[in-house]
Amino acid sequence: MRILILCTGNRCRSQMAHGILKYLCPSIEVHSAGVRPATEVHPLAIQVMSEIGIDISQHYPKSVDQYLNQTWNYVITVCGGARENCPVFNGTVANRLHIGFDDPDAFTGSPEELLTEFRRVRDEIYKELQKFAKILES
């Protein structure tokens, strides 16, 4: 089973989803990428993931271009930008799925408010991917 998770920058949501899905389904091959990749994974994404025991500190943003000729069981978009700008895959994509989440990086506020927003989005991603993992297991 091969799953690709797409976001615009591959900086927050797709990185958190990548870590969570790999944690929930360790035998599945999971990758994440962006249609316009950022230069680094957001430090708060790394922090809030470590709070739940998932280490994404070695992750880095990648371009979707490197995955276009590969075969995927699922390509999952986690933001509207990636959904709207999802490129054409030359390889086989068995299933396309959109599970959208707010962009915690777009939120403005105090450091504590930002951290709260990242935790909220992380928890939403976890909840939705738990449901998805149950579908994969059945």
- Which residues are catalytically annotated? 7, 79, 86
Q: Determine how many CB atoms are found less than 10 A away from the CB of residue 103.
A: 19
Q: Determine how many CB atoms are found less than 10 A away from the CB of residue 9.
A: 23
* 8 A C-beta contact, residue 2 and residue 108: no
Q: Which residues sit opposite 77 in a β-bridge?
A: 6, 98
Write the DSSP string, 6-28.
EESSSSSHHHHHHHHHHHH-TTS
Residue 35: partners with Cβ closer than 8 Å, 6 or more residues away? 6, 7, 8, 63, 64, 81, 82, 85, 86, 87
